[in-house]
Chain A
Amino acid sequence: MSSQEIPEKNLPSEQDTAHGAVAVAEDPFADPGLPPHKPRVQDIDERAAKRSERTVALLFTLSMLSTIGFIASFVAFPVEKIVYVWPLGHVSALNLSLGVTLGLALFCIGAGAVHWARTLMSDVEVADDRHPIEADPVVKAKVMSDFAAGAEESAIGRRKLIRTTMFGALAMVPLSGVVLLRDLGPLPEEKLRHTLWGKGKQLINMNTNEPLRPEDVAVGSLTFAKPEGLEEDNHEFNNEIAKAALMIVRLQPQDIKDKRELDWSHQGIVAFSKICTHVGCPISLYEQQTHHVLCPCHQSTFDLSDGARVIFGPAGHALPQLRIGVNDEGFLEALGDFEEPVGPSFWERG
C-alpha cells in the first residue's frame, strides 16, 4: 500500500511552474501572474475617502450611543415589564431593549472596522511564499541521529528489564482511576425488574390522588394512576414513578382480542405500563376509537385492544400489562407486580 504502487506518471503535473514567466505564445493557459492593482474610488478621490471616514466614525458613534441605550434600558425597565410589539407579541421590554441595543453596539463596531478595512486600508494583494511542511533530509538525519544517541544513552534498548517493568507500571497505574469510578452508582441487580406495584396495592388517580373505582372509568376515557403510598414529595418519587406509571382505559370486553389481556382486566378496564418499551418515554397518546396508543418521542404504536402489541415504530415488544381486580371496598387494586420489566429493553432482561 505504499505510494510507490501508483506510478509517478499517473499523478498530474503541478501547475506552479508557470509563475507568470512562460510566454503566452507557448502555453495559452499559462499563469499570467497577479493582475495589476486597480485603485478604488477612495484611493484616488480624497472626498470619497473622507466620506468613508465619516461613515466609519458614525458607526463607532452609533455603537457608543447603543451602549448608553443598553445601560439606560437596564436601569429603566423593570425585569417583569411586558410590552406588546408587533409582530413579536407580548415580550419582555428589558429583554428586547437589551438585545437590540447590545446587538447594535456590537454590530456597529464590527461594521465600522470592516468598512474601514474595505475602503481605507490598502487593498493591494501581495503574495507570500510557502515552504514545504516536511523537513529537508539534513534536518531529518540530524533528528534521527539525536534520537538514536538519546536512546542509546538511556540504554532502554539494552536493558530490557527496565523497559518491560516501566511499560507494565505505566499500563497498570490508570487502573486506580478506573477503580475509583466504581462508586458512581450502585450495581443494577434486580432493580429494573421490580416496581412499587404489588398484590393489594390500590390504583390511585394521578389527578385527584384518590383511589379509583371501576365505575369512575368510562369507556373511551383515559386515566393515569400511581401505586398507593407513592406521594409526590417522596424523595424517590421520580425514580419510582419512572417505572410504576400506569395508563388505564376501558374497552368493551368484546373488543379485547387478546385472551390474557381479557383475563387480566376488570370489566373491560385494562391497565398498561405508561413507560414505552422502546426507550422509556411516557407513552400515552391514546386514540379511543382505534384503541391505538402512540409514543410522542419515536412513534411506536401499540394496540391496547390486542395485548398492547407493537403495530408500528421502533419498539421491540408489547407494553407490560398490570393484572387488576377490585378489593372489598370496591376500589381497583393490583393483583401483583408487572410480570416482566417495564420500560426499555436491556441486556439482562431476557
Chain B
Amino acid sequence: MSTVTDAKRKAPAGERVADWADGRLGIYSLAKANMRKIFPDHWSFMLGEIALYSFIIIILTGVYLTLFFHPSMNEVVYHGSYVPMQGIRMTEAYASTLEISFDVRGGLLIRQIHHWAALIFLAAMFVHMMRVFFTGAFRKPREINWLFGFLLFVLGMFTGFTGYSLPDDLLSGTGVRFTQGAILATPVVGTYISFFLFGGEFPGHDMVARFYSIHILLLPGIMLGLVVAHLILVFYHKHTQFAGPGRTNKNVVGMPLLPVYMAKAGGFFFLVFGVIAAIAGLFTINPVWALGPYRPDQVSTGAQPDWYMGFAEGLIRVMPGWEINLWGHTLALGVFIPLTLFGLVLVALAVYPFIESWVTGDKREHHILDRPRNAPTRTALGVAWITGYVIMLLGGGNDIFATHFHLSINSITWFVRISYFVGPVLAFVITRRICLGLQRRDKDKVLHGRESGIIKRLPHGEFVEVHEPLSQQQLHTLTAHEQYAPAEIGPSVDENGVERKVTRGQKLRAKLSKGYYGEGNQIPKPTADEYKEITSGHGHH
C-alpha cells in the first residue's frame, strides 16, 4: 500500500502533466500508435518537408508583416526616409511597404524571408509532386492525398500572386492589370466579374484591401486545412518506400519517429529556416522601392510574374492575336485560349492518377515505389509535361533571354510556339528510350553481373572483362518491380457465339494499356530460369 502511494508521489512532473492531458485528450493512445512510427530514409522523401517548413516560415513572417502593412489604397504623398520617392504620390499600401523596408528594424529581412520562402515553397511543392509522380507514389491508396497536394500547389500559386500584388508597386500592378485584362476576356461574364472584383473600373480603390483578405485569410486558411489533412493522410497511410531487401508492400522499413525523425525532421525545419534567413540577409528580392508606385499609365520592360506564374505568362506571350467579332460580341481568343490551356495543363496533372489506375485496372494498394525507368510510359509522360511547362517558362521570360543571350525576341517567341508542340513529343520518345535502355542494362546486370572494369587475358589469348555477380540483395532489388500485361479486349464473340458489345471506352483502354505495357514498351524482367541457365552454364564470359 505504502509503496503504491510512494510511486505516485514520485512520478515526475512531466508524467503528471501527461497524465492530466491523457485524462482529457487520450494522448497515450495517440502516442502509442505514432511515437515510434517508422519512416523510411531517402533524400527525396524530404522534398515535401521543405515545402511544409517554408509554408510555416511564410505564416510566421506573414503574421509579422501584417503588424506593419496598411492594406489601403488611400493616396498619400511620401515623406519617409527613402529619398528617391520623397514627394511622390502613392497608396498607403506602397508607403507602408517602404516603411517596413526602411524604417522598421528587421522589417526588410522579414519581408525578404517571406518572399524568398514563397518562391522556395512553390518550387519545393513542384519538385515534391514530381517525386511523387515519377515514383508512382500517387497510386492507391494515395490518390486523394495527391489531389490535396495538387490543390495546395494551385492555391499556393494564387496566394503568391495576391501576396506580391499587395505592395501596389509598378511591377505587381502591371501583373494585376494583366489579370484584369484576362478576366475581361472571359466570355459573357468577364466584364461583370472584373467590375465586382475591382469594385468598379480598374484599378479602383478596393483591390489591395480585397486581395489582402484573400491573401492572409481565405487562401491560407484553406491551405492550412489541406496541409493538416495531407499530413494526417501521410501518417495514416504510412510512408512509401523503395524496393529492397526486407522491404515489402506489407511493411515499412526505417527508423522510428522518436527519437531519430524527431531530431532529423525537427532539425531540418531549422536548417530550412536558417538557409532561407541567410539568403534573405544576403540577396535582394523584389526591391519595391526601385519599382515605384503603380500607375496605370506607367510600365517597365521585363515585367514578369514570380516564377510559378511564369508558364501562364509564357502561354499568354506566345499566343497569336486571334479575336472573333460576331453579333456585337467580342471573343478575345488571344487571351481566352491561354487562360483555358493554363487550367487544362494543371488539371492534366490532377487527374493523372485516375487515368493510370483506369488503364491498369489495378485496384490494389501500392506502397513500394517504382523506379522511374520501370514505368517508362508514365515517366515519359511526366517528362513531356515538364518539357512543355519549361518551354512556356522560357516563353514567359522571352525578353530577358533576348537581351542576355543576344537573341531576337520574335525568334524566341516563334521557337517557343513551335517547340511547345514538338518538344513534349520529342521528350516523350527520348525519355521512353532512355528508360527502356536502363531497364535492359538492369536486366544485363542481373543476368551477367556488374562490369568490374578488370580485363583478363584468357590462356588462348582472348581478352574478356570480368563481371562480378550481384549479391542477392541487389538481385532482389533489381527484380522486385511489377510488370503489367496489356489489357485485352478479348474475342468479339462470347463462348455461345453471341456478339459481345465492346464499348469505345474498352477499346481506348486496350489501346492505352498496350501503349503502356505492350511489347517493346517495357523490357520483360529476367526470370529465375533465365538466371539459373546462365549462371549454371558458367564461363561464357
Interface presence of B506 (CB below 8 A): yes
Interface segment out of the listed A44-52, A164-172, A273-281, A323-331: A273-281
With A34-B253, A121-B260, A185-B197 as given contacts, are A126 and B38 in contact (CB-CB < 8 Å)? yes
Nearest chain A residue, comparing its CB with the CB of B317: A298
Contact in complex: A314, B316 (CB < 8 Å) = yes
A224 to B297, CA, bound (A): 9
Interface presence of A6 (CB below 8 A): yes
Kindly provide the distance from the CB of B56 to the nearest chain A CB, expressed in whole angstroms. Answer: 12
A1-41 vs B, Cβ < 8 Å mask (1 yes, 0 no): 10101110111111110111000101111111111000000
A7 to B89, CA, bound (A): 72
Contact in complex: B297, A274 (CB < 8 Å) = yes
With A102-B109, A188-B195, A224-B297 as given contacts, are A346 and B184 in contact (CB-CB < 8 Å)? yes
B389-415 vs A, Cβ < 8 Å mask (1 yes, 0 no): 000000000110000000001100100
A239 to B320, CA, bound (A): 29
Kindly provide the distance from the CB of A85 to the nearest chain B CB, expressed in whole angstroms. Answer: 9
Interface presence of A336 (CB below 8 A): no
CB-defined contacts of A9 to chain B, threshold 8 Å: 485
**Most chain B CB neighbours (cut-off 10 Å) among A9, A121, A279, A349:** A279
Within 8 A of B (CB), among A84-108: 88, 92, 94-100, 102-108
Nearest chain B residue, comparing its CB with the CB of A301: B410
CB-defined contacts of A116 to chain B, threshold 8 Å: 263, 267
**Most chain B CB neighbours (cut-off 10 Å) among A92, A191, A314:** A314
Contact in complex: B108, A92 (CB < 8 Å) = yes
Query: Looking at the complex, which one of B174, B197, B246 makes contact with A127 (CB distance below 8 Å)?
Result: B246
Contact in complex: B201, A239 (CB < 8 Å) = yes
CB-defined contacts of B317 to chain A, threshold 8 Å: 298-299, 313-314
Q: How many residues of A contact B (CB 8 A)?
A: 116
Interface presence of A117 (CB below 8 A): yes
Interface presence of A173 (CB below 8 A): no
Contact in complex: A314, B398 (CB < 8 Å) = no
Interface presence of A198 (CB below 8 A): no
Kindly provide the distance from the CB of A246 to the nearest chain B CB, expressed in whole angstroms. Answer: 9
Contact in complex: A114, B278 (CB < 8 Å) = no
Interface presence of B225 (CB below 8 A): no
Query: Looking at the complex, which one of A6, A27, A31, A312 makes contact with B361 (CB distance below 8 Å)?
Result: A6
Query: Looking at the complex, which one of B38, B105, B275, B334 makes contact with A103 (CB distance below 8 Å)?
Result: B275
**Most chain A CB neighbours (cut-off 10 Å) among B186, B247, B277, B338:** B277
Query: Looking at the complex, which one of A128, A181, A297 makes contact with B37 (CB distance below 8 Å)?
Result: A128
Nearest chain B residue, comparing its CB with the CB of A284: B299
Contact in complex: A34, B245 (CB < 8 Å) = yes
Within 8 A of A (CB), among B260-319: 260, 263-264, 266-282, 295-303, 313, 316-319
Interface presence of B16 (CB below 8 A): no
Query: Looking at the complex, which one of A233, A242, A296, A300 makes contact with B89 (CB distance below 8 Å)?
Result: A233
With A242-B203, A280-B178 as given contacts, are A316 and B334 in contact (CB-CB < 8 Å)? yes
A314 to B38, CA, bound (A): 54
CB-defined contacts of A245 to chain B, threshold 8 Å: 296-297
A131-174 vs B, Cβ < 8 Å mask (1 yes, 0 no): 01100000000000000000000000000000000000000000
Interface presence of A216 (CB below 8 A): no
Kindly provide the distance from the CB of A137 to the nearest chain B CB, expressed in whole angstroms. Answer: 16
Contact in complex: A188, B322 (CB < 8 Å) = no
Interface presence of B465 (CB below 8 A): no
With A10-B487, A278-B321, A314-B320 as given contacts, are A296 and B281 in contact (CB-CB < 8 Å)? no
A27 to B276, CA, bound (A): 50
Interface presence of B180 (CB below 8 A): yes
Interface segment out of the listed B24-32, B215-223, B362-370, B423-431: B362-370
With A16-B249, A281-B174, A313-B321 as given contacts, are A99 and B278 in contact (CB-CB < 8 Å)? yes
CB-defined contacts of A298 to chain B, threshold 8 Å: 178, 313, 316-317
Query: Looking at the complex, which one of A3, A7, A79 makes contact with B363 (CB distance below 8 Å)?
Result: A3
Interface segment out of the listed B1-9, B159-167, B340-348, B470-478: B470-478
Kindly provide the distance from the CB of B205 to the nearest chain A CB, expressed in whole angstroms. Answer: 8
Contact in complex: A102, B178 (CB < 8 Å) = no
Interface segment out of the listed B324-332, B380-388, B448-456: B324-332
Within 8 A of B (CB), among A160-204: 181, 184-188, 191-192
Query: Looking at the complex, which one of A103, A239, A278, A315 makes contact with B203 (CB distance below 8 Å)?
Result: A239
Contact in complex: B105, A241 (CB < 8 Å) = no
Contact in complex: A184, B196 (CB < 8 Å) = yes
CB-defined contacts of A270 to chain B, threshold 8 Å: none
CB-defined contacts of B75 to chain A, threshold 8 Å: 233
A300 to B335, CA, bound (A): 12
Contact in complex: B191, A346 (CB < 8 Å) = yes
Contact in complex: B199, A184 (CB < 8 Å) = yes
Interface presence of B50 (CB below 8 A): no
Interface presence of A255 (CB below 8 A): no
Interface presence of B62 (CB below 8 A): no
Contact in complex: A30, B323 (CB < 8 Å) = no
Interface presence of A259 (CB below 8 A): no
Within 8 A of A (CB), among B469-510: 472-473, 475-476, 479-480, 482-488, 505-506, 509
Interface presence of B532 (CB below 8 A): yes
A122 to B246, CA, bound (A): 19
A319-350 vs B, Cβ < 8 Å mask (1 yes, 0 no): 00000000000000000000000011111111
Interface presence of A219 (CB below 8 A): no
Contact in complex: B532, A28 (CB < 8 Å) = yes
A226 to B275, CA, bound (A): 49
Contact in complex: B187, A32 (CB < 8 Å) = no
Interface presence of B192 (CB below 8 A): yes
Contact in complex: A312, B37 (CB < 8 Å) = no
Nearest chain B residue, comparing its CB with the CB of A281: B299
CB-defined contacts of B44 to chain A, threshold 8 Å: none
CB-defined contacts of B198 to chain A, threshold 8 Å: 185
CB-defined contacts of B446 to chain A, threshold 8 Å: 29
Contact in complex: B237, A128 (CB < 8 Å) = no
Nearest chain B residue, comparing its CB with the CB of A2: B361
Interface presence of A264 (CB below 8 A): no
Contact in complex: A348, B274 (CB < 8 Å) = no
With A1-B358, A10-B485, A28-B475 as given contacts, are A110 and B267 in contact (CB-CB < 8 Å)? yes
Contact in complex: B398, A347 (CB < 8 Å) = no
With A274-B297, A278-B335 as given contacts, are A343 and B106 in contact (CB-CB < 8 Å)? no
Contact in complex: A344, B174 (CB < 8 Å) = no
Nearest chain B residue, comparing its CB with the CB of A125: B253
A100 to B329, CA, bound (A): 58
Nearest chain B residue, comparing its CB with the CB of A297: B303
Kindly provide the distance from the CB of B315 to the nearest chain A CB, expressed in whole angstroms. Answer: 10
Contact in complex: A33, B188 (CB < 8 Å) = no
Interface presence of B255 (CB below 8 A): yes
CB-defined contacts of B296 to chain A, threshold 8 Å: 238, 241-242, 245, 275, 280, 282
Query: Looking at the complex, which one of A34, A35, A130, A243 makes contact with B238 (CB distance below 8 Å)?
Result: A130
Kindly provide the distance from the CB of B49 to the nearest chain A CB, expressed in whole angstroms. Answer: 12
CB-defined contacts of A107 to chain B, threshold 8 Å: 270-271, 274-275, 278
Kindly provide the distance from the CB of B161 to the nearest chain A CB, expressed in whole angstroms. Answer: 15
A1 to B399, CA, bound (A): 49
Contact in complex: A315, B251 (CB < 8 Å) = no
CB-defined contacts of B509 to chain A, threshold 8 Å: 5
Query: Looking at the complex, which one of A29, A35, A127, A206 makes contact with B251 (CB distance below 8 Å)?
Result: A127
Query: Could you name 25 residue pairs across A and B whose Cβ atoms are closer than 8 Å?
Result: A7-B488, A12-B482, A30-B476, A32-B245, A32-B472, A34-B253, A96-B282, A97-B281, A99-B282, A112-B267, A124-B255, A126-B255, A188-B192, A241-B296, A241-B297, A279-B182, A279-B184, A281-B299, A313-B321, A316-B334, A344-B181, A345-B332, A346-B190, A347-B184, A349-B330
- Additional A-B contact list (17), CB under 8 Å, known A88-B282, A238-B295, A347-B190: A14-B364, A28-B472, A29-B479, A34-B246, A94-B108, A99-B113, A102-B281, A103-B275, A110-B274, A125-B246, A185-B206, A233-B89, A239-B204, A243-B201, A296-B399, A347-B186, A347-B189
Closest 7 CB pairs of A and B: A99-B281, A279-B181, A316-B323, A107-B274, A6-B361, A103-B278, A113-B267
